[in-house]
Structure 1
Amino acid sequence: MSPALRTPLSTLAETPAGLVDTLRSVVGEVGVRATDRLASAHDASHYLMTPQAVVRPNSITEVAGLLRAAHRVGAAVTFRSGGTSLSGQAVTENVLVDVRRHFGSIEVLDDGARVRCGAGAVLRQVNARLQRHGRKLGPDPASEIACTIGGIVANNSSGMACGIEANTYKTLDSSVFVLPSGTVVDTSQADAGPELATAEPELYAGLVALRDELRADAESVRRINQLYSIKNTMGYGVNSFLDHTEPVRILEHLVIGSEGTLAFLAEATFRTVKIRPHAATGLLIFPDLARATASLPELVAAKLVTVELMDATSLRVSQRDPKSPEEITTLTVKDHCALLVEFQEADEPALQARLDSAADLWTRLPLTIPAQLTTDAGRRAAFWHTRKGLFTAVAGNRPQGTTALLEDIAVPVERLGETCEALNQLFAKHGYDDAVIFGHAKDGNIHFMVTESFGAGPATDVDRYAAFTEDMVECVLARGGTLKAEHGTGRIMAPFVRRQVGDQLYSVMQRVKALVDPQQMLNPGVLLTEDAQAHLKHLKTSPAVEEEVDRCVECGYCEPVCPSRRLTTTPRERIVLRREIARAEAAGDETLARTLREEYQYDALETCAADGMCETACPVFINTGDLVRRLREETSSAPQQRAWRAAAAHWGFATQAGSLALSAAGAVPAALPRVGSNMARSILGHEGVPGWTADLPGGGQRRLVLRDPQAEAVWFSSCTQTMFGSPDEQQETRSCRGVGEAFQRLCEVAGVRLRTPESIPALCCGTPWKSKGMSAGYEHMRRAVSDALWEASDGGRLPVVSDASSCTEGLEVLIASSGLRERRIQVLDAITFTADRLLPALRARGTVLAQPISSLTLHPTCSSTRLGVNYALDELAHAVASEVHVPEAWDCCAFAGDRGMLHPELTESATRAHAVEVNDLKAAAHASTNRTCEIGMTRATGQPYRHILELLASALPPR
């Protein structure tokens, strides 16, 4: 194998100053630091290319100016949004244009019949806006949690249910795109055609000529119809010349699936499809793959909306996921194969009729377990969680140091079984013993994954992959299949487009590229190439670094939920930068390694909220906050560790000092009270604390409850109530001062008795120490809290109730990590205790709540989301309000204890879109479940946020 085909380790080349000046003359955000470039060198594919610069235009005008400027200086441009691409079309060694931050608009039209989206809008967010209208987008890729509209159009995405009938190509209504020349085309306008003819006469005429030439060639028409009768994203969509007559519509549909090689897709308007809300889902278990695929014709005839295949290896990996359904976790897997099937109908009678009609089918199938389809939402969600996370879950279990490679093919359904058997023979031939097959069996579209050690093994690793690819191409094409069904041609299959479509149609594709992009400026090397070995270049290596980093498959699913994504780095970027530091160190490039470490301090450590939301989206359950906390510990100084150890030992005094400091901060922001000032500064971070302003009220005492032998629960009041009480100016209008008093009042009226640990002023859930990596202080507090709660709860007999969701989560972690397995203490959040215990008691006692609030906007927190208690928040909200809203743009506020004070820019960035929606809702009241989050949201929106229990207590009858 030629060394040129291997990924080199070399010093990061400096971006030419002239290019930087050119880019900055037209775009405001241009990143050329090592961190900017290397963080964007990675996407979900197995290719690794470092851009010269990363630019983030904020408008179509800036994009048009950028393209004109790039044309003048001969710079190539690649567009990127979600970075979930698996085929290498979102990485480049040239200029990378990141459109996530400024092209995320979503506008629902015609009561949901259409929706207009920016290129950076995430599919899941679009569908969330459409759901209230009973609609959704047709394309339904498994990566919907993170993939964006720009990528969906660029790759002509389809997915699990839409087939080729409701994919992007079939459901696009209109679009706005920018050609390489800078010309902006808006196909929603009636004069779009004449304007294109005027602005781009050669392009317009060339499209007309190609259209007429193709339509006059019977063999070309036959071949096109054959190629696009199944899922097919190889090369350009030349079926556009047959399906559309107007050149502007032909061009619009050529842009679909063009992978950023023809234009920048700025905006897309889709015709949506109806949601059929009544569904039944089941897992059909077959003895082997052959009998599963042989059953496909009958299953397709039964009008199942989805038939998803999972082979034996897929099932074994899925068993490691605690969220997988019991049908998988309890299965003794040998050669089994599963088909995940689902019926969807508009109403219950129609669904029942469909189930009745399929009853005989299930008895005819060679199943190892009788078929059972469920309508239960929770069980159905578990099935789909397993299927949608399958690729990343399998990839996450790959051997250390290897790279996951996912291929995507389609064949006529009747030939799927023999194709799978042939692929298994190829896996055996080339030594891919851990290969996995899964995918959309109903469409003859399967994915298979192999793992390869490009950087860890000998040169023959690349030789093996090259030989396997050649055999695979022949295998698929010989069965009338397509080499890319929905993931896009990218770099991985660009050398094989001619072999699939033939010389004639390949020539047409080359002419399309030359017409639209004569300078070959957009995304060179993608979709079309004359380099027969292009798919073997720029291969990604995965150096071993640390546990969280090594498991990451760089899928990007974590990015849409990260509160720092619009400010600094995302969880994926934090991880890939750790890999780049390791790569630089291995190459002996200490200058680059040092630069990355220095930039990492702010970009990755200081501005990480460590909220754990990334874990909720990660299919391999990586909590990047754990990595950040450990790195904070490693970079902390001995004096810092001692100060936090002292704070743990004198926590009651420390919290009071912090409260006094905050109370004084409004009058003297730069000065702290003499008594306890050093301790308070230690608690909250550093000298000066820029976020200590007048809107951070001081707190009060943590109220004690006598040791009541008849208590039903142990109340663990949060120290945030001591440090950050409720705003003074609102106290006169409240029946309760803060959530602690509100919770006590609710318990009193409900007849529920409480007790607290006698040492409560000195106790804390440990989150401040854990989040900062202050291990000595955390260990001290862990022992103290564990001992106190074990005693107060009568050896775990009573549940422990916390009045702040972040503290509830912190207590759960603290108790679980105490090392004392016999100490099983149940920790409940106050909102779940209130919803499940106090509300029923209040109703049983005939307690009448005051007239409900007209409208209430909620802010679920990252902790309440991770704890799974938002159902209780919703229930309590409906108990006190006539109308309840949770903003669709909801996000973690990133106040994160002290992050909102130390780095207010983090909270401002995280809440920007959320705050706009909150103020548009104009609710009468606003509530959350955590004091610091309430402060963060009050700052962001200008609206006073209170704990939901305060609102509930205020609705109680007067004493």
Structure 2
Amino acid sequence: MDMPSEHDLADTPTNRDDAYQQLEQMLLQSFEPEQVLSGETETLAFGTDASFYRLIPKLVVKLRSLAQLKWVMACCRDLSLPFTFRAAGTSLSGQAISDSVLLLLSDDWTGHQILEEGQAIRLQPGVIGADANRYLAPYQKKIGPDPASIAACKIGGIVANNASGMCCGTAQNSYNTLKSMHLVLADGSELDTADPLSVQRFRFSHARFLHRLKQLAEQTVANSELKSLIQHKYRLKNTTGYSLNALIDYQDPIDILTHLMVGSEGTLGFIASVTYQTVDEHPHKASCLLVFDNNQQACEAVKTLAAKPVSAVELMDGRALASVADQPGMPDFIQHLDKQACALLVEARSSSASGLTQRCNALIKSLEPHPRRNEVAFTPLEQEYSRLWAIRKGLFPAVGAVRATGTTVVIEDVAFPIEHLAEGVEALQQLFVEHGYQEALIFGHALAGNLHFVFTQSFDTPEEVARYDGFMQAVSQLVAVDYKGSLKAEHGTGRNMAPFVELEWGEQGVALMQQIKQLFDPQGLLNPGVILNPDSQAHIRNLKLMPAADSLVDKCIECGFCEAVCPSRKLSLTPRQRIVIYREIAALRRSQDQPERLARMEKDFKYQGIDTCAAVGLCADRCPVGINTGDLVRKLRAEAQQGGRGETIARWSAKHFAGLASGGRVGLQLMDFTQQLLGEKVMGKLTHGAGKLTKQPALQQWSPAFPKAAASFKPKRVFHPDKVVYFPSCASRTMGPPADALDQRSLQEATCSVLEKAGFEVIVPEGIGGSCCGLPYHSKGFAEQSEAKSKQLEAQLWQASEQGRWPVLMDTSPCAKRSQEQFTQDMAIYEPVGFIYQHALPRLEILPLQQPIMLHLTCSSRRMGVEQAFMGLAKACAPEAVLPEQIYCCGWAGDKGFSHPELNASALERLREQVPEGCSRGYSNSRTCEIGLMKHSGIPYQSIVYLVDEVSL
């Protein structure tokens, strides 16, 4: 049967519009307002995924529980409204977008349970793949799938797309490592295959359904031609269409049902949780890089390696190698390779170091008949093999970085039978030439015959769309017909390959898929247009344009890798979404034909895009092309304040910084005195009222977490041969501990105590009362004042350090990070954790604290790469140290905790529940962050310097 497309479902727009309005009213009566989005800004932002397609949903619903999901599904069934499930939205083929109702999984879907001593793990669909592996790391286990997007994609998408990856192959994908599944079908029924009672009830309630499923399986097994085709297809990596192998691999219809759900892309039901049989994560691994004269030689070597115990073999063609040849850390010979060269990146793993050495030696010996042009020998050193993998991981960013503005990066993936891999590579390269994709390159998982090819494409003219269509038609014929391969090996069918499913599977295969879809979803409401689509032009409809907006963000491909670490992701917009909306605003400004829509979107963007962006730059570390959306936000803040009152205040404060800091201390002293006099309850009401009256948000946010004024402190100069220049930040010079803190000394006093115990002479520069790293100005977009303060501080520290002879310690991590980035003189700049762990801890005698502590790793610490040092230092001082999950930034963001406290509250929403019983203290390395951490955890937070001083002799 023909499946309905989005256009078929919109034949009665008046009735459909009424149905959407009715659904929205029903939702608003039952859900919190922030869970139901229908505004044009929000639906555009949240409707975007990583593909090059664009559909804008009528409604976006953020679901917090399975009960809510089932209720919304029931409403959609009653109103005949289509709906689509969305996890992280990193899908590449258009399977996570909708022009109807988009159901988003909130952070409430992150439950996990380790089973059987790590042999299995039960995961809700909102768990990020990398987090699942982090939970399993103590057991030396991991989940089987390892997609390149594992740090951003979620379990729901991994299972629904049957995602695999570099080491996964087919043996360890979701289909083959599935242990049990909890699912919801289109009719609202639940099945948890880990629960015998649930299975028993389902067998009774859905006897006809299961009987029909068993019939389809028996008919498929009996059809020798179709069975043979299925066996051939799943000898390869294959995610084109439904997982028809379930019908020949299993006899129990319950098993058939759950395995059909794998790779079904949300078109058959909802996956509420999945239990994986885990796989080994061998602690010892090594990698080598082998370069051959041409594709044929490389692929012959792949055939040899396929029969050996090797974990990964990544193929990179000559164009791929050329694209990263000038990147730092690349082997010198790569710059001299021609376009005919082809490389293999090989990884071996073992449970022991000796076993790894034996395995590597055996692999190299097996390759003796295959001459290489160049090579980097197997290395077990992490620093060295990480450089080799940087070649492979840098290929996608390399294309993204050079693409023309207005184009997008298209990533396709196919699979050839491994015996035809070389011919497949050559044929694809020829198609690139024929269709004018000169920048296209090929890389992939060679052991599975799985090739990714990446190229840039514009969709803004009919000619460009026709070029893409012609290319895809040719690729489909080449892969599916000429070489009997897979058109989608691991990225999912989506909308992109839906028109070509029959080309690959034939009439019988598609007819079987249509029967499956009709059985599971008789109303055709689940993600219509995906996998099965009668529109032969679906792959070139609803194409996403990428208009120029600003050079700072024009390279964004909207992949969504940035979203998991964004502190505003639950409050307003993520970096991807900010860029999407700003692109739309830029296009509307150029066109000038929708002034009212432009005004509405600009108003929305002021709060959602600019005011609530923490601008801390974590997004840049996750972005494949290094975009820091905070740079755009700071630029927009500067433009908005240019010539205004804010700029005037910034200039004045920069010139009178010492007096401003002194006034801040006086204000904190007054607030502390008033609180002691009136009590916390009265103080809270008083400051809240005063804040409203004076329109000062900071006053409204007073709480017991607010700091007292910092006590003045001047360290004694005690001679030691080793010296360190200590710069107390303006925050620590102004803010002392809160009233409930365990240690009431100033941070300056605690820091000097630790340094003196470790045998360092402490040098505090003269005249630092008016000094600042410039970060407060930088975050607000005042570049001139920020640079001036930074240069002033650099000159002071350069002199105090005797022209870089002595290291410089800054007692808060954001100041250190900013100074590292801005200083031009050769000085070693440290924040507390890095300096103490590397230089002071070896000199100290530690008596560890025998109680649990909470930790907060600031965003600047993450960006400086001191996470390992932070955990090492904390566990040296208190063996039970807890770093909470899903909190990458506290959202205080300089002074956002004062002006927009909802950002801080949202970022730390899950903090209090993670404080272990018996824990009464927390530690960080940023004074301002500690205010919000204490407020939202219920325990006092101080600099980790205090802990080190307490436990050291």
Same fold (TM over 0.5): yes
Match of 2:313 in 1: 307
- Displacement of 1:726 in angstroms is 1.1
CA contact (8 A) 1:175 1:187 kept: yes
- Displacement of 1:470 in angstroms is 1.1
- Write the mapping of 1:347-366 to structure 2, written as runs, cut at 5 A: 347-366=352-371
Match of 1:463 among 463, 466, 473: 466
Match of 1:876 among 857, 870, 873: 873
Match of 1:940 in 2: 936
Match of 1:753 in 2: 761
Q: 1:59 and 2:65 equivalent?
A: yes
CA contact (8 A) 2:715 2:749 kept: no
Question: Which letter does structure 1 place at the counterpart of 2:25?
Answer: D
- Displacement of 1:392 in angstroms is 4.4
Match of 1:861 in 2: 858
Distance in 1, matches of 2:295 and 2:669, equals 68
Match of 1:104 in 2: 110
Distance in 2, matches of 1:583 and 1:179, equals 41
The more displaced of 468-477 and 581-590 is 581-590
CA contact (8 A) 2:897 2:903 kept: yes
- Displacement of 1:653 in angstroms is 1.4
Match of 1:912 in 2: 909
CA contact (8 A) 1:75 1:95 kept: yes
- Displacement of 1:579 in angstroms is 1.1
Question: Which letter does structure 2 place at the counterpart of 1:933?
Answer: C
Match of 1:563 in 2: 567
Distance in 2, matches of 1:189 and 1:838, equals 54
Match of 1:831 in 2: 833
Question: Which letter does structure 1 place at the counterpart of 2:383?
Answer: G
- Write the mapping of 1:524-539 to structure 2, written as runs, cut at 5 A: 524-539=528-543
Change in CA separation of 1:131 and 1:31 when aligned onto 2, cut-off 3 Å: same
The more displaced of 188-197 and 901-910 is 188-197
- Displacement of 1:307 in angstroms is 0.3
Change in CA separation of 1:81 and 1:882 when aligned onto 2, cut-off 3 Å: closer
CA contact (8 A) 1:82 1:100 kept: no
Change in CA separation of 1:596 and 1:743 when aligned onto 2, cut-off 3 Å: same
Match of 1:450 in 2: 455
Say what the alpha-carbon RMSD is for the aligned residues. 2.6
Distance in 2, matches of 1:100 and 1:35, equals 19
- Write the mapping of 1:238-637 to structure 2, written as runs, cut at 5 A: 238-319=244-325, 322=328, 325-327=329-331, 331-335=335-339, 336-388=341-393, 390-455=395-460, 458-477=461-480, 478-587=482-591, 588-636=593-641
Match of 1:820 in 2: none
Q: Secondary structure in 2 aligned to 1:97?
A: strand
Match of 2:730 among 716, 719, 725: 719
The more displaced of 936-945 and 378-387 is 378-387
Distance in 2, matches of 1:766 and 1:704, equals 24
Change in CA separation of 1:868 and 1:93 when aligned onto 2, cut-off 3 Å: same
- Displacement of 1:890 in angstroms is 4.2
- Displacement of 1:626 in angstroms is 1.4
CA contact (8 A) 1:211 1:241 kept: yes
Q: Secondary structure in 1 aligned to 2:466?
A: helix
Change in CA separation of 1:328 and 1:169 when aligned onto 2, cut-off 3 Å: farther
Change in CA separation of 1:359 and 1:721 when aligned onto 2, cut-off 3 Å: same
Distance in 2, matches of 1:26 and 1:505, equals 43
CA contact (8 A) 2:722 2:759 kept: no
CA contact (8 A) 1:38 1:580 kept: no
The more displaced of 652-661 and 459-468 is 652-661
Match of 2:899 in 1: 902
Match of 1:886 among 874, 883, 887: 883
- Displacement of 1:408 in angstroms is 0.9
Change in CA separation of 1:693 and 1:774 when aligned onto 2, cut-off 3 Å: farther
Match of 2:816 among 802, 808, 827: 808
Match of 1:9 in 2: none
Distance in 2, matches of 1:523 and 1:687, equals 44
Change in CA separation of 1:929 and 1:293 when aligned onto 2, cut-off 3 Å: same
Q: 1:49 and 2:61 equivalent?
A: no
CA contact (8 A) 1:142 1:389 kept: no
Match of 1:85 in 2: 91
Match of 1:694 in 2: 704
Percent of paired sites with the same residue? 36
Question: Which letter does structure 2 place at the counterpart of 1:305?
Answer: S
Given the two structures, how large is their TM-score scaled by the length of structure 2?
0.92
Question: Which letter does structure 1 place at the counterpart of 2:342?
Answer: C
Gaps of 5+ in 2: 1-5, 8-15, 675-682
Q: 1:767 and 2:775 equivalent?
A: yes
Deviations 1:598-649 (A, max 9, x none): 1112212222222211122112111111111111111226111111221111
Match of 1:117 in 2: 123
- Displacement of 1:355 in angstroms is 1.6
CA contact (8 A) 1:392 1:555 kept: no
- Displacement of 1:269 in angstroms is 1.1
CA contact (8 A) 1:665 1:692 kept: no
Change in CA separation of 1:517 and 1:357 when aligned onto 2, cut-off 3 Å: same
Distance in 2, matches of 1:895 and 1:348, equals 45
Change in CA separation of 1:366 and 1:216 when aligned onto 2, cut-off 3 Å: same
The more displaced of 137-146 and 651-660 is 651-660
Question: Which letter does structure 2 place at the counterpart of 1:887?
Answer: P
CA contact (8 A) 1:411 1:445 kept: yes
Match of 2:679 in 1: none
Change in CA separation of 1:167 and 1:872 when aligned onto 2, cut-off 3 Å: closer
Q: Secondary structure in 2 aligned to 1:548?
A: coil
- Displacement of 1:833 in angstroms is 2.3
Question: Which letter does structure 1 place at the counterpart of 2:609?
Answer: A
Deviations 1:740-771 (A, max 9, x none): 11221122233322322222110011111111
Change in CA separation of 1:923 and 1:904 when aligned onto 2, cut-off 3 Å: same
Q: Secondary structure in 1 aligned to 2:908?
A: helix
Change in CA separation of 1:153 and 1:850 when aligned onto 2, cut-off 3 Å: closer
Distance in 2, matches of 1:629 and 1:952, equals 36
CA contact (8 A) 1:318 1:328 kept: no
Match of 2:947 in 1: 951
CA contact (8 A) 2:435 2:471 kept: yes
- Displacement of 1:268 in angstroms is 1.0
- Displacement of 1:687 in angstroms is 5.1
Question: Which letter does structure 2 place at the counterpart of 1:49?
Answer: L
Match of 1:8 in 2: none
The more displaced of 379-388 and 364-373 is 379-388
- Displacement of 1:664 in angstroms is 3.2
Change in CA separation of 1:670 and 1:650 when aligned onto 2, cut-off 3 Å: farther
CA contact (8 A) 1:702 1:721 kept: no
Q: Secondary structure in 1 aligned to 2:709?
A: coil
Match of 2:922 among 902, 921, 926: 926
Deviations 1:532-556 (A, max 9, x none): 1110101111101112320111111
Distance in 2, matches of 1:382 and 1:906, equals 37
Distance in 1, matches of 2:132 and 2:394, equals 20
Question: Which letter does structure 2 place at the counterpart of 1:771?
Answer: S
Deviations 1:20-65 (A, max 9, x none): 2244355542101122101023211111111111101211111111
